[in-house]
Amino acid sequence: MNRLHRFRQRAMAVLLALGCLGATWLAVARADEPPHLVPAALLDTAKPGADMERAVLAGGCFWGIEGVFQHVKGVRSVVSGYSGGAQDTATYALVSTERTGHAEAVRITFDPQVISYGQILRIYFSVAHDPTQLNRQGPDRGPSYRSNIFTVSDEQGRIAKAYIAQLENAHVFAKPIVTRVDPLKRFYAAESYHQNFLQRHPTNSYIVVNDLPKIANLKRLLPEMYRAQPISDVQAR
């Protein structure tokens, strides 16, 4: 486990001990661009299919992104894991070294009759993470926390790249978007103790400070896509 992840563990322990004072300190340390609703994608799925589809997204610690999409209508499954590196290095201990090429990511299975890929990306850019942060999100630092869309088809690649260009041209964010778009090679499910982490540990100080506000922002900014009762999809490998 590298120094960055030791910091995360120590920070959580400190926050548990200090309560509101510690939470305030970590909130100040984040200093990310405030979440705001971005425009809908002009280019989206042309014709929704009848079968379930998948999206793989990375943007900081997977606990938060998993928690957000568990509250999205039309999402059927969310699994935390790793993408961007090799199978033999897809473990938390190795990914934590920041030398494997992996990003902490989530695999989202969704019903295209209910929600489109473009709408998934709108949530991703609006509330799930800050796409202007390079190799970091909140208190977490390193390339495993990068903003990265892993596309499962050429169509997803076109939609993702067009959407980033659309948001950049409209100057939606004060700083440039640094989100990468790469074809998905493989997705490796993370260890069982990472799955469904937010639901199992809602009072964890890291979750309270960094991730519960994302869900609150989803409800506030995109109420038509929000569902109060989250799905639960714990999958261990």
Catalytic residue among 26, 61, 106, 115: 61
Distances (CA, A) of 213 to 17, 70, 169, 183, 217: 21, 14, 28, 30, 6
Distance of CA 152 to the CA centre of its chain: 17
- What are the tokens at 136? 């970091």
Residues 37, 122, 230: CA angle, nearest 5 degrees: 95
CA count, 13 A, side-chain hemisphere, 157: 7
Residues 6 or more apart whose CB falls under 8 angstroms from that of 103 comprise 58, 82, 83, 84, 143, 144, 145, 146, 148
- What are the tokens at 215? 């869900």
Q: Known catalytic residue: 20? A: no
Q: Which residues are catalytic?
A: 61
